[in-house]
Amino acid sequence: MKKMIVTGSSGLIGSEVVTFFANEGWEIYGIDNNMREDFFGEQGSTRSNQERLSQTHDHFTHYELDIRDRKGVIAAVAELNPDAIVHTAAQPSHDLAALRPFDDFDVNAVGTFNLLEANRLNNPETPFVHMSTNKVYGDAPNELSLKELDMRYDYADPEYYSGIKENFRIDQSKHSLFGSSKLSADIAVQEYGRYFNMPTCCLRGGCLTGPNHSGVELHGFLSYLVKCNVIGRQYNIFGYKGKQVRDNIHSVDVAIFINEFLKAPRAAEVYNIGGGRDNSCSIHEAFDIISSISGKEMKFKYVDKNRDGDHICYISNLSKMKTHYPNWNITKSLKMIFEEIYTSWDKKQKELV
């Protein structure tokens, strides 16, 4: 039985990876210390995911370990000797990074470095998959020529119709402290691939989402938006007239791609992984979609202040992923994603009544 370490195993992507590969017959060791609750409060806790995974999968073992603990990480990797490491643990919020910069950098940059070096010391041939972010490009995408439509912004240059490619520049732009810590990790993952010829890849995610997301205002765009609709909470739009665009990918499609990569790993690769143009929407378009599903109008307030380093329009170009791994494609449409998230939040709300 193949063995896999999944960091952030109780989070959105981590828990999806655990489920997918456990069902594929892997033995999974999940490293997670529920720091999301420390970051976002009780509503951000991922303990329910941890409990669900432990109850559902016989070959899943939870490790309560902080990835900032260098000695603990090195010891765990040596003890478990995995056939693959999927690193999804992170501090994921722009805003929180500015409030807690040391925690942000230590988790995102130093934690990733601890795992990479532990992997190299134990078995440098073990594939290492890192969940990076499109924020490694900073706000440089905002320099692209855009056109303002009734409900969204869009790229004016036809060259970018299918989205942003992996060769887009990553420097001389404002990233937010979160973006800079994630970029540090991203480059380290690439460098371990190039310098030591280790099989590594960075998945520069757009909006990663799904029904297992513990969405909060500071992180989790679609999950939190749908939650606000279900419970009747006001949603705050921060800047850009609510026309800012994101492409959304279901966590299961991320797990499917990781599976394809592990079948034929490459060294030092980067991929922009998102929903692509078909799964893109603005905030106002998202309001219309969820209202059509729930039958409830969104309550919202517009705050005329853009988030620092925020993207006006971001769509992932998926052509490189599909060229390198032609068996992979998006399986969850935008409407399916909304419906699954709505069903999840609606169920939770009814259980509280």
For 73, half-sphere exposure in the C-beta direction (CA atoms, 13 angstrom radius) is 25
Q: Which residue numbers in the chain have pLDDT < 50? A: none
Q: Report CA 332 to chain centroid distance, whole Å.
A: 16
pLDDT at 353: 67
Write down the pLDDT at residue 231.
95
- 200 phi, psi to nearest 5 deg: -135, 155
86-122, pLDDT tens digit by residue? 999 999 988 899 999 999 999 999 999 999 999 999 9
What is the rounded distance in angstroms from the CA atom of residue 256 to the CA atom of residue 16?
Answer: 10
pLDDT at 217: 84
| In the chain, domain spans | 3-352
Residue 7 pLDDT: 98
Residues 222, 215 contacting (CB under 8 angstroms): yes
- Residue 308's pLDDT is 75
User: Options 3.40.440.10, 3.40.50.720, 3.40.50.12780, 3.40.50.1700; which CATH number does 3-352 get?
Assistant: 3.40.50.720
- The predicted pLDDT at position 351 comes to 85
* pLDDT in the model for residue 219: 73
